[in-house]
Amino acid sequence: MSERLGPPLGAPLFDRLALIGIGLIGSSIARAARRKNVARVIAIADESTQARDRAVALELGDEVVADAGDAAAGADLVILCVPVGADEAVARAIAPQLKAGAIVSDVGSVKGAVIAAVGPHLPRGVALVPAHPVAGTEQSGPDAGFATLFVNRWCILTPAAGVDAAAVAKVRAFWEALGSNVETMNAAHHDLVLAITSHVPHLIAYNIVGTASDLEETTRSEVIKFSAGGFRDFTRIAASDPTMWRDVFLNNKQAVLEALGRFSEDLTALQRMIRYGDGEGLFALFARTRAIRRGIVEMGQETAAPDFGRPHDEDGDGGS
């Protein structure tokens, strides 16, 4: 798996880049954009004083302000890096400051609802090119970001039909410069695919960890003690940012409910296999799922090292 960002561009793609929200994703973009010389000036806005202070201390941009409109003023590319539920308020705040020909983009994990929330506020002559970098960690805030987060990861663009092709090409070039592989699809399709590959898995993790924490005190301490049996891998996902994930579920309701319906049906089928001793059925499913993992590793989206590449000493630490 390559983690190299590559050399800086000769000339910046954008004169002024504005990042609204300087958490995990915004700060990773800032770091990568700086290293790659993607923009001459990086302006940052965040409503959190703490995040702004960290952005200054970490030297993430050339300007760090509280007001999103101030950062967006005169920008060629404005990227909304806030939780999806905050996108509409940010769009309202930046709209009067946007210059003609500016491009507005975002990094939200949901696309249909974001387009509906942001699009109507943008003035004519401003192109909306939504993007979703399919990369992240369970951490948040400016300190959690790193420049190579997007290297060899997919970034999905979901421009509506008729959006200026030159603007779409510039956003594509931006993400490619940050090391991403870029794909374009419509927003509804994105939301359905991500519901099954990301949103429902997060919900399952939140649910299993929640169930464990509801257990009686003695059992709960054993859950933590013996977590290497599989539970701890769910806890990583279930440690993800509560605001971000609340907003994802509230804004991708239809696709998540559709994917959850299928999941519940398949879970019932599994329950029946266990109840009626259908070992052949269980084995066939588990063999199929193992092949999916192999496919992900082969596509360079995961390490081939066992146990997610966790270090193990000579004696080994047990595990499953």
For ligand NAP, the closer CB: 14 or 140: 140
> Residue from 26, 112, 130, 179 that binds ligand NAP (CB under 6 A)?
26
Angle formed at CA 157 by CA 152 and CA 158, multiple of 5 degrees: 155
Q: Is 102 in a helix, a strand, or coil?
A: coil
Closest listed residue to residue 136, CA positions, set 36, 224, 26, 56 = 26
Minimum CB separation of residue 90 from ligand NAP in Å reads 5
User: Burial, 49: exposed, middle or buried (Cβ in 10 Å; 0-12, 13-18, 19+)?
Assistant: exposed
Give the shortest CB-53-to-ligand NAP separation in angstroms. Answer: 11
DSSP-assigned states of every residue in 32-45: HHHHHT-EEEEEEE
- CA–CA separation, 223 vs 237, rounded Å? 16
Rounded-to-10 torsion of CA 19, 21, 26, 30:
40
**Which residue of 13, 14, 16, 23 would you call a contact of ligand NAP, by CB under 6 A?**
23
Q: Which is nearer to ligand NAP, 70 or 307 (CB)?
A: 70
Choices 103-111, 162-170, 254-262, 278-286; region in contact with ligand NAP by CB under 6 A: 103-111
Instruction: Tell me how many residues contact ligand NAP (CB under 6 A).
Output: 31
Q: Would you count residue 112 as binding ligand NAP (CB under 6 A)?
A: no
Q: Is 86 in the site for ligand NAP (CB under 6 A)?
A: yes
Dist. CA 201–CA 122, nearest whole Å: 34
Structure tokens at 32: 């990568």
End-to-end Cα separation, the chain, in angstroms = 26
Q: Residues 218-257 vs ligand NAP: string with x where CB under 6 A? A: -----------------------x--x---x---------
Out of 97, 105, 109, 180, point to the residue binding ligand NAP (CB under 6 A): 109
Q: Give, as one character, the DSSP assignment of residue 153.
A: -
- Window contacting ligand NAP (CB under 6 A); options: 2-10, 81-89, 260-268, 289-297: 81-89
Task: Give whichever of 122 and 273 is closer to ligand NAP, judged by the CB atom.
Answer: 122
The overall longest dimension of the chain from CA atoms, in Å, is 66
Measured at the CA of 16, the angle between CA 10 and CA 19, to 5 degrees, comes to: 115
C-alpha distances in angstroms, 61 versus 4, 184, 262, 302?
22, 29, 45, 31
Smallest distance from ligand NAP to CB 121, Å:
13
| Least distance between ligand NAP and beta carbon 247 (Å) | 7
Task: Write out the binding residues for ligand NAP, residues 132-191 only, by CB under 6 A.
Answer: 133, 136-137, 140-141
Give the rounded distance of the alpha carbon of 141 from its chain centre.
Answer: 13
Residue 108 within binding range of ligand NAP, rule CB under 6 A: yes
Q: Which residues bind ligand NAP (CB under 6 A)?
A: 20-26, 45-48, 51, 68, 81-84, 86, 89-90, 107-109, 133, 136-137, 140-141, 241, 244, 248
